[in-house]
């Protein structure tokens, strides 16, 4: 009886051990699966982060390169425009210092574009230029005006302003042919020409 009871107890304990072992094995397998899944998930997250971070870094570098390129182009353009302004300023100074004959001949070519057929016009010069205006130069201007059918008179600007060129004064309007005004008005065309001439940029 005792021996039979012992056998039953041993059998129960043996089955219990087997069940516990099975439970522990299942738990171990689940632990490995969970750890493996977690490891894979962590790897995916890490790779995604690295990829996104790499893309952010790339975008930042591209933006930085783009900003640097824009700043470089702006700097170069600013330097070129400064050179062009210096060239235009030098051209005005050069023009104003031409010998009288060359100076007034150049002005006559400018004025001829603004003479109006059948109208009277007064050429108003600064005091400085008016004092240089000999009868020879007046005749040159008058002949140029006559070719355009314009009657011409000469006048001195007594306001004290010193300028190169003249104001063409008609009865009802004026044409400002002062050199500074002409350069300002034609600045865009001059800049395009000089960019092409100096920097080979316009083709």
pLDDT in tens, 82-100: 887 787 788 888 888 899 9
pLDDT in tens, 177-189: 998 888 888 777 7
Which residue bears the tokens 């002005």?
A: 107
Same domain as 73, residue 134: no
* CATH code: domain of residue 177: 3.30.2320.30
How many domains does one find in the chain? Answer: 2
Q: According to the model, what pLDDT value does residue 200 have?
A: 66
**134, 99 contact by CB (below 8 A):** no
Same domain as 92, residue 1: yes
Same domain as 57, residue 4: yes
Higher pLDDT, 189 or 140: 140
**92, 164 contact by CB (below 8 A):** yes
Same domain as 85, residue 20: yes
Tally of residues, the chain: 203
Same domain as 152, residue 118: yes
List, in sequence order, every residue forming a beta bridge with 156; answer none if it has no partner: 125
Which of 97, 122, 152 is the last residue in one of the domains?
A: 97
Same domain as 107, residue 175: yes
Q: According to the model, what pLDDT value does residue 89 have?
A: 82
**70, 102 contact by CB (below 8 A):** no
Which of 59, 74, 97 is the last residue in one of the domains?
A: 97
- In which band, very low, low, confident or very high, does the pLDDT at 8 lie, cut at 50, 70 and 90? low
DSSP type of residue 156: E
Same domain as 83, residue 13: yes
Same domain as 102, residue 92: no
Collect contacts of 73-81 with beta carbons under 8 A, ≥24 apart. Answer: 80/195, 80/198, 80/199, 81/191
Domain that holds residue 30: 1-97
Same domain as 134, residue 118: yes
Q: What is the pTM of this model?
A: 0.56
Q: According to the model, what pLDDT value does residue 59 have?
A: 72
Please state, in angstroms and rounded to a whole number, the distance separating the CA atoms of residues 141 and 149. 12
Same domain as 108, residue 65: no
pLDDT in tens, 105-129: 999 998 988 999 889 999 999 999 9
- Provide the angle, in degrees to the nearest 10, between the axes of the packed helices 100-111 and 2-96: 110
Q: According to the model, what pLDDT value does residue 2 have?
A: 54
Same domain as 79, residue 112: no
Same domain as 90, residue 41: yes
- In which band, very low, low, confident or very high, does the pLDDT at 150 lie, cut at 50, 70 and 90? very high
């Amino acid at each position: 009886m005792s021996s039979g009871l012992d056998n039953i107890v041993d059998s129960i304990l043996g089955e219990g051990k087997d069940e516990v072992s099975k439970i522990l094995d299942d738990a171990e397998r689940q632990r490995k699966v969970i750890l493996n899944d977690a490891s894979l998930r962590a790897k995916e997250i890490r790779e995604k982060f690295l990829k996104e971070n790499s893309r952010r870094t790339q975008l930042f570098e591209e933006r930085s390169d783009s900003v640097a390129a824009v700043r470089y182009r702006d700097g170069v353009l600013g330097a070129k425009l400064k050179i062009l302004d210096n060239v235009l300023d030098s051209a005005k100074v050069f023009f104003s210092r031409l010998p009288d004959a060359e100076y007034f001949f150049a002005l006559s070519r400018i004025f001829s574009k603004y003479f109006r057929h059948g109208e009277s016009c007064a050429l108003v010069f600064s005091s400085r230029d008016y004092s240089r205006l000999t009868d020879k130069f007046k005749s040159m201007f008058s002949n140029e005006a006559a070719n355009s059918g314009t009657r011409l008179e000469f006048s001195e600007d007594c306001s004290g302003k010193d300028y190169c060129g003249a104001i063409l004064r008609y009865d009802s309007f004026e044409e400002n042919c002062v050199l500074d005004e002409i350069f300002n008005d034609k600045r865009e065309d001059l800049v395009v020409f000089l960019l092409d001439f100096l920097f080979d940029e316009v083709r």
